[in-house]
Structure 1
Amino acid sequence: MRDDEDRRRPVIHEIGQALDALSLDDLDRRIALLHAEIERLEAARKAKQAALGAADAFFRR
């Protein structure tokens, strides 16, 4: 039953929180979560940078 509860409980990580009480599985899940978030942030940054570049090119003409 504990496994079912773990699967339903969302992984939430707060920057700076204590890590001592986390298991290896918990740490692995949080690392995966943070890697996915970094990828999402990088994609958003890339899209914003492309939009700014397009706007700069348009208004320079």
Structure 2
Amino acid sequence: MDMDDFSPARSADPLALLARQDLDPLSVAELQERISALEAEIARTRGKLEGAVNHRASADALFRQ
């Protein structure tokens, strides 16, 4: 993989970078590690989303009073 693939000039979108990454050179263990890391990031993102939704619901409830 060329490090230029990760330059900000090519794309500032991390999801686009992930989608473009060539997975062919990765071993089974590396692919499993990648999946684990992505699943952890999904869990972190879901937690942030849940917190944002709860915060919004709390704010909405406060201003309805």
Q: TM-score normalized by structure 1? A: 0.76
Structure 1 consecutive aligned stretches of length 4 or more whose deviation exceeds 2 Å: none
AA aligned opposite 1:37: E
CA RMSD in angstroms, aligned pairs only: 0.7
Alignment: residue pair count:
48
Q: TM-score normalized by structure 2? A: 0.71
Counterparts of residues 16-55 of structure 1 (less than 5 Å): 16=19, 17-55=21-59
Match of 1:60 in 2: 64
Q: CA separation in 2, counterparts of 1:15 and 1:56?
A: 36
Structure 1 unpaired stretches of 5+:
1-13
Structure 2 unpaired stretches of 5+:
1-16
Larger Rg over CA atoms = 1
Identity, % of aligned positions? 38
Please list the CA deviations of residues 22-43 of structure 1 after superposition, one character each: whole Å capped at 9, or x if unmatched.
Answer: 0000000000000000000000
